Structure 1
Amino acid sequence: MATRQPLFFKIGPSFFYILIITISAIIRTLTEFYNNQQNKLIAETHRTNTELIYLRKQTNPHFLFNSLNSIYSLAHKKSDLVPDAIVTLSELMRYMLYETDNKTVALEKEINYIQNYIELQKLRLNNIEDIVINVHGDTRNKFIEPLLLISFVENAFKYGTDYKGAAHVKIKIFILENSLDFWIENTIENYVKDPENSGIGLVNIQNRLDLLYPNAHELKITQDNEYYRVHLNLKLDKIQTSIH
């Protein structure tokens, strides 16, 4: 009866030598591929971070320009409200300087910032009863990208104020679990008749939404002969904090 040869001798030692070389080459190729992908990811993250920082910083002078215009309007009228306006502006600037460099901010702080901005605008307007903000839901332990909503509010006052210093601005914020719905409407006084041509602020918001809330937001902008309306739905827990 013939002795059964081990598989090693049937295949031959050269097979294992080739196999080891092949496996080593595969490991080396996969390692290089992984490293290249990691480097690409790091580079892409860096580009995204740079873009996000640019978009955030773009908001600051835009806001400051609008706020100083409001105070200038009061000063031009020699209004006694100028000191109050300066105090409110200082609160807004403090928030921008010390809170907005974080990846996210508490939603209640962001809403408080919007409310302070509205109070600043009210100082120069004649019909504050037509300026309303309502907040519904629990804002505790909720977080949001800093300064994300303020451009909507700025534009509402900028384009919704008539030559008599009257404005109609209605804001509603509704929070349910990790979903935020933001509605704002204003009358069309100075608005360009093109919902796409709404200034640098709205372009800024759309870019930031695409970066930070991909597939986690829905933005709808409509207008008719009287009103300009914005509705934003945001999934607060889906923010891409890893790219900050």
Structure 2
Amino acid sequence: MALLLISTLFLLEYAFPRPEFGPNLPRPNRPGNPPEFTGFKLGFPSFFIIVLLVIGTAVKMYLEWDNNIQLQKDIEAQKSSAELHFLKNQLSPHFLFNSLNSIYSLTNKKSNDAPEAVITLSELMRYMLYQADNDFVLLQDELDYVQNYLKLQRLRIANNQDVTLQIRGPIGQQKIRPLLLIPFIENAFKYGTDYKGNTLVHIQIVVNEFNLKFKCVNLIGNQKQDPNNSGIGLQNTKERLQLLYPNQHTLEIEELDNQFIVQLNLNVS
């Protein structure tokens, strides 16, 4: 609108100059006198107006396009945030349900380890309540959480000699999204016991400055998966990885020689 107004004023001023009168000024055009208004004076401002209109239209279209792109990004960010919030809320009850089952198993056996299991669970819940709600946590804190979880599982399992955890590499100030590793470990303990009661779970974590390699191997036991209730943690974690680490991770899950194998390669910073 502003460009159109300026262009119109320019056209009126340039193509139709205001008459000036005075003793030494030429008289206004009369019939028979050649007009001072030429085709050039009309053509040039018309071309100038067209150029300005084209430029103005292009600028307006670009601004609208840029606004639409930004709006789309904002919508996608809000959608991702809502999905992550939902997934994290889904994960916490799932974890608590499994942990309470573990403690119930100890109390049902009247095990002397039950009080220690309750204390360990309280440490796990403290982490989930006060740290896991952050966007990032220290890798060391996440690994401490994993070790406490394995401690709880060892208390529950009678034959735990094949339950191992190895952590190697320099751990400094690297950060990671919270609760990414534990669903794989939960799944390993849930299905890693055979019909004789033997449990096999091997976890290996190798860390360097910018990378984490996680490998979890468990025996495929005799417990059958319920398609309506199992796999919540694994599917949850796959979706979180896609949202939180796009193009920054690789995940391989396979069954080989009666073993369930998970391998995750993740960029950390």
Q: Give the TM-score normalised by the residue count of structure 2.
A: 0.80
Q: Which residue of 2 aligns with 1:21?
A: 53
Structure ranking higher on relative contact order (CA contacts 8 Å, 6+ apart): 1
Residue 192 of structure 1 contacts residue 198 of structure 1 at CA under 8 Å; is this kept in 2? no
Q: Which residue of 2 aligns with 1:175?
A: 207
Pairing 1:30-179 to 2, within 5 Å after superposition: 30-179=62-211
Residue 211 of structure 2 contacts residue 266 of structure 2 at CA under 8 Å; is this kept in 1? yes
Q: Distance in 1 between matches of 2:52 and 2:65?
A: 20
RMSD: 1.9
Q: Distance in 2 between matches of 1:105 and 1:155?
A: 22
Residue 168 of structure 1 contacts residue 187 of structure 1 at CA under 8 Å; is this kept in 2? yes
Residues 1:12 and 2:9 aligned together: no
Question: What displacement does 1:223 show?
Answer: 1.4
Q: Distance in 1 between matches of 2:99 and 2:222?
A: 18
Q: Which residue of 2 aligns with 1:221?
A: 253
Residue type of the partner of 2:130?
A: Y
Q: Which residue of 1 aligns with 2:22?
A: none
Q: Structure 1 residues 198 and 176, CA, compared in 2 at 3 Å: closer, same or farther?
A: farther
Residue 124 of structure 1 contacts residue 165 of structure 1 at CA under 8 Å; is this kept in 2? no
Classify the secondary structure of the residue corresponding to 1:128.
coil
Q: Which residue of 2 aligns with 1:242?
A: none
Residues 1:200 and 2:200 aligned together: no
Q: Distance in 1 between matches of 2:109 and 2:196?
A: 14
Identity %: 49
Q: Highest CA radius of gyration, 1 or 2?
A: 2
Q: Which residue of 1 aligns with 2:242?
A: 210
Residue type of the partner of 2:184?
A: F
5+ unaligned residues in a row in structure 2: which ranges?
1-39
Question: What displacement does 1:192 show?
Answer: 4.7
Classify the secondary structure of the residue corresponding to 2:111.
coil
Q: Distance in 2 between matches of 1:165 and 1:139?
A: 35
Q: Distance in 1 between matches of 2:250 and 2:66?
A: 34
Q: Structure 1 residues 126 and 25, CA, compared in 2 at 3 Å: closer, same or farther?
A: same
Q: Distance in 2 between matches of 1:142 and 1:236?
A: 6
Q: Which residue of 2 aligns with 1:240?
A: none
- After alignment, is 86-95 or 226-235 more displaced? 226-235
State the aligned residue count. Answer: 227
Classify the secondary structure of the residue corresponding to 1:123.
helix
Question: What displacement does 1:136 show?
Answer: 0.7
Residue 171 of structure 2 contacts residue 208 of structure 2 at CA under 8 Å; is this kept in 1? no
Deviations 1:88-120 (A, max 9, x none): 000000000011111111111101101000000
Residue 188 of structure 1 contacts residue 225 of structure 1 at CA under 8 Å; is this kept in 2? no
Q: Which residue of 1 aligns with 2:30?
A: none
Deviations 1:51-81 (A, max 9, x none): 1111111110110010000000011111121
Q: Distance in 2 between matches of 1:210 and 1:170?
A: 25
